[in-house]
Amino acid sequence: MFEERPDREEVVLAGRSNVGKSTLMRELTGHSKFTTGQKPGVTRSPNHFDWNAEGFMFTDLPGFGFMSGVEEGRREQIKTDVVRYIEGNAEDILAAVLVVDGKSVIDIIDRHSGPDEIPHDVELFHFLWELDVPTVVAVNKMDKVDNRDERLDDLCDRLGLHPPWKQWQNTIAPISAKRGDIESLNEALQTHFHEQKRDDLLKFVT
């Protein structure tokens, strides 16, 4: 499944299961064909939505981490496949969007932090940076978060970015995909497209 990739430059959406990647994909593309649901792990292979004329696509990668009813071996394989996809196509990735759940991301990171464990979200963030892939952390479901600035500052701290979060507006984008509130993500992607001389793609993130 992972091998059947159109020859395009792309923006990839990555993150844990059930953080709203597919809902965000619908908002970014304006198309409703992407499967979403309450059940984690609905997306099992990359979903591409591409524009042939521009040689560009959005790609929704399968969610990783805990998934109810999915055995650990399969979960690890999905994570490995996601990492290999990003690594193998890094030169064609104009930007990566790491989607996290604003309500639970701090608790999840803290629960999986330890001497012998790096939380998946933190690990993937640093992996993308090491590959020199422009990365935006889309902090989803922010409409359900009360202490907004504090939560975003805490996330910066966990990711190794110096708070306050507002100095990282091309990296940290608070959104509510279900409500269609993705302006901060669009603005960050506009900056990354412009820096890579792809102003022809700005129309996709306005």
Higher pLDDT, 117 or 191: 191
Is 41 within a domain? yes
User: pTM for the complete prediction?
Assistant: 0.91
Is 206 within a domain? no
Q: How many domains does the chain have?
A: 1
With cut-offs at 50, 70 and 90, classify the pLDDT of residue 41.
Answer: very low
Q: How far is CA 129 from CA 121, 135, 159, 204, in A?
A: 13, 7, 11, 24
Q: What integer pLDDT is reported at residue 55 of this predicted model?
A: 93
Is 34 within a domain? yes
The average pLDDT across 75-93 equals 92
d(CA 175, CA 195): 22
Amino acid at 33: K
**Residue 67 pLDDT > 50:** yes
C-alpha closest to that of 20 among 191, 182, 133: 182
Is 81 within a domain? yes
Q: pLDDT of 96-113, one tens digit each?
A: 999 999 999 999 999 988
Q: pLDDT of 169-181, one tens digit each?
A: 999 999 999 999 9
82: three-class secondary structure by DSSP: helix
Is 3 within a domain? no
d(CA 88, CA 80): 12
**Domain at 106, CATH number:** 3.40.50.300
d(CA 59, CA 52): 14
- For residue 164, say if its preceding peptide bond is cis, omega within 30 degrees of 0: yes
**Residue 44 pLDDT > 80:** no
**Residue 36 pLDDT > 50:** no
Is 143 within a domain? yes
Is 203 within a domain? no
With cut-offs at 50, 70 and 90, classify the pLDDT of residue 30.
Answer: confident
The average pLDDT across 27-44 equals 60
Range of the domain at 115: 9-197
d(CA 74, CA 78): 6
- Name the least confident of 11-15, 73-77, 122-126: 73-77
Is 64 within a domain? yes
